Structure 1
Amino acid sequence: MTAFVRIWLTGEDERQSEHFVNEIGKLSHVIEAHVLAGDCDFLLRVVAEDLSGLRRFQSECLARIKGVRSMKTDIPLLRVKKVGLP
């Protein structure tokens, strides 16, 4: 399954962002990551075997990264469009 996880860090300094980026780079469940302007700091595309696996990944991996203040997860119900990039 795929989920989109919005991440808020405890601070907005470059050092903390770099630490977060380095940590998620080690996590195979994170298949895409974006720095966002706006409400949250990062948007992650995460894959897991099922809902239990997703919850386990969030609590055992993402939530334990130093500097993560909070996260919210959105689970897509149906993909209606996908465009291949050149």
Structure 2
Amino acid sequence: MVCVVDATRWDLVDTITTETVTYRETDPTCRELIGKLTVAPRTGLPFAIAALYGMWVFFSAVAGFLTDRSVTSKGNRDGSHLQDCA
């Protein structure tokens, strides 16, 4: 067994890395661009507000659908369960 000094060990790691790993420039993908935009506070806040608004609209629509469906499934399809607002 050969004892390798710490500096020599890292030199060996560097040699193996340079021979096996290749680095190249890549164009950023759409996912990476959106990720960079959402992390910055100036551009991320509008994304956060839009996401919250979208979730609110979606869940309001689902809740409205489910509550309308539960009311009409009880046999009150003629609207007699609604109060007169006048």
Instruction: Give the structure, 1 or 2, with the largest relative contact order (CA under 8 Å, sep 6 or more).
Output: 1
Max radius of gyration: which structure?
2
More helix by share: 2
* TM-score in terms of structure 2 length: 0.21
* TM-score in terms of structure 1 length: 0.21
